[in-house]
Each structure stands twice: as structure tokens, then as C-alpha cells.
Structure 1
Amino acid sequence: MKFLVCAVGHKMPRWIAAGFEEYTRRMPHEATVELLEIKPEERSGKKVEQLLAAEAVRILAALPPRCRMVALDEHGRQLTTVKLADSITEWMRNGNDIAFIVGGADGLDARIKNSADDVLALSAMTLPHGLARVLLAEQLYRAVSFIKGHPYHRV
């Protein structure tokens, strides 16, 4: 199974890249994580709706066909780590890759959220989009560890 983290933003600080890499390298070989960085739309006087629409086109173009789309949004459904592990177990049954979509500074276009199979929140608080990558990578590692009975996750 492959997890895709499709994230708007590039040129992240070193600590973001290091944190993301730390958790993705720990993943067992049967559950890999791949980062798909989406270049943010240049602002140059555009309205937020125009920026998000342009980024949505790039996001959809980057995703493989038939993947499960999980949009991350502060207004999405909140799960415990154990419930995330249960969801991942269920999603694994259909065999498709799972793409977690992280918006940029302005969030995600409504078209992405409406077409997603799920909309989840990492937190009810607004997170910097770079930090969301690290938090997501850690939670994916934790959920897979729980599924495999690894002691990393302690209840």
C-alpha cells in the first residue's frame, strides 16, 4: 500500500523536511509514503478563489487514477489514532493508493473537498501547512504501527 501526501507548497524549512522524512523512513516496506509537492499559485493580485482553483487543477493532475482522496481541512471529521488505523485497514481492502491532500496557506478549493472520499481534520486548530505534513506523517506511522501490533502506539 502506498500513502501519498499531496501537499501545496515547496521550499519547506529544513526541519519540516527532516520531520517528514523521519517518520516516512520508519514505515514498514509494505506501507510507503510518497510526498507530491504542488507548486503554490503565484498571488500577483489574484483572488483567493482563483488561487485555490489553479492549485486544485495541479492537485488533481498529480494524483494517480483510482486513488482514495482524503482532504485535510480544519472543519473535517476528527479521528483518534485508533479510528484512523481502523479506517486505513478498511481502505486497504480495496487495494488503491490513499492520497492525503494538504492545502497551502489559503486551504483547499471546495472542488477538492467535495470530490474527496473523506475530509479529515488533524486538529480543530489551524496548522501551518508544513507542520501538517509532519503531523500527518507521524500519525500515519503511528496508525500503521498500531495495525501491525508494534509498541510505538501506547493506549
Structure 2
Amino acid sequence: MKLGILAVGHRAPDWVAEGCAEYIKRMPRELPVALVEVKPEARGSKSREQLLAAEKARLLAALNGYDRLIVLDERGDDLPTLKLAERLAGWMRAGGATAFVIGGADGIDEALKRQADETIRLSSLTLPHAIARLVLCEQLYRAISIVHKHPYHREG
């Protein structure tokens, strides 16, 4: 199984990229993570719908080879870390590749959201997209450490 983080946006700041790289490096060999930056559409005089449609096309191309789509959205299900670990264990048992999509500044096309297997939120707070990438990388590492009973995560 593999995981992908598909993030619409420009290159993240170095400190975010370094943080993501650190957590990705810690992931076990049987669960590699790829971080894919998807180019945002140039704003110009385009409507929000036009921007989202163009980004949707790029995301669909990047989603080729993934069996499961998880969209990150502020209106998604609140998924505590232990529940994320349970879901991750289930996805691992089921096999296939799982993609997590982080939208751009205007969000994610509604039709693409409807195609998602699940929609989750990382926080009730509004997070900058770069920080959302870093939080997701850390939470995936934390979830697999729970699955493998590694002491990184401590309850209580």
C-alpha cells in the first residue's frame, strides 16, 4: 500500500518541506508516502468555478493509480487520531493506494468532493495550506506508530 498527499498550491516554505520530509522519512517501508504538489490555476479574470474546474482536472490526473480518495475539507468528519489510526489499519488490510487531497486557496471542486470515499478535517481552525500538509504528514506518522504500537503516541 502507498499513501499520497496531493496538495494544490505552490512550493511550500522550506520549514514546511523539511518537516514533511522528516515525517515521510520516518514512515515504514511498507507504507511509503508521496507528496505531490498540484499547480494551482492562475487567477486572472476567471471565476471561482473555472479555477476549481481547472484544478480538478489536474487533481484527477494526479489521482491516477490511487484506489481511495480522502478529501480534506473544513466541513469534513472530525477524526481524532485514534480513529485515523483505525482507518489507516483498515485501508492497509484492504490494500490499494490512498490519496489525501488538500485543495487550493479556493477549496476543492464540489463534484470531486462527492467522488471522495471520505471527507475529513484536520482541525476546526482554519489552517494555511502549507501547515495542513505538515499536520497531515505528522498525523499519518502518528497513526502508523499507533498501529505498530510504537511509543511515539502516548495516551493520557
Fold similarity call, TM over 0.5: yes
Q: CA RMSD in A?
A: 0.9
The residue number in structure 2 matching 1:20 is: 20
Q: Is the 8 A contact 2:11 2:37 kept in 1?
A: no
Distance 1:77 1:148 in 2: 24
Identity %: 53
**1:76-119 residue CA offsets vs partner (Å, 9 max, x unmatched):** 00111110010111112221111000001111110111000000
TM-score normalised by length of structure 2: 0.96
- Indicate whether 1:136 and 2:139 are aligned: no
- Asked whether 1:124 is paired with 2:121, we answer no
Contact 2:66 2:98 (C-alpha < 8 Å) held by counterparts: no
Give the number of aligned pairs: 155
Map 1:59-138 → 2, pairs under 5 A? 59-138=59-138
- The aligned residue for residue 40 of structure 2 is 40
- C-alpha distance in 2 between matches for 1:30 and 1:10: 29
Structure 2: runs of 5 or more not aligned: none
Query: Whole-Å Cα distance in 2 between the matches of residues 86 and 111 of structure 1?
Result: 27
Residue type of the alignment partner of 1:108: I
Structure 1 runs of 4+ aligned residues shifted over 2 Å read: none
Measured after TM superposition, the shift of residue 10 of structure 1 is 2.1
Structure 1 gaps, min length 5: none
Q: Deviations over 1:13-63 (max 9, x none)?
A: 111111111111111111111011100000011111110111011001111
**Could you tell me whether the CA contact under 8 Å between 2:146 and 2:153 is conserved in 1?**
yes
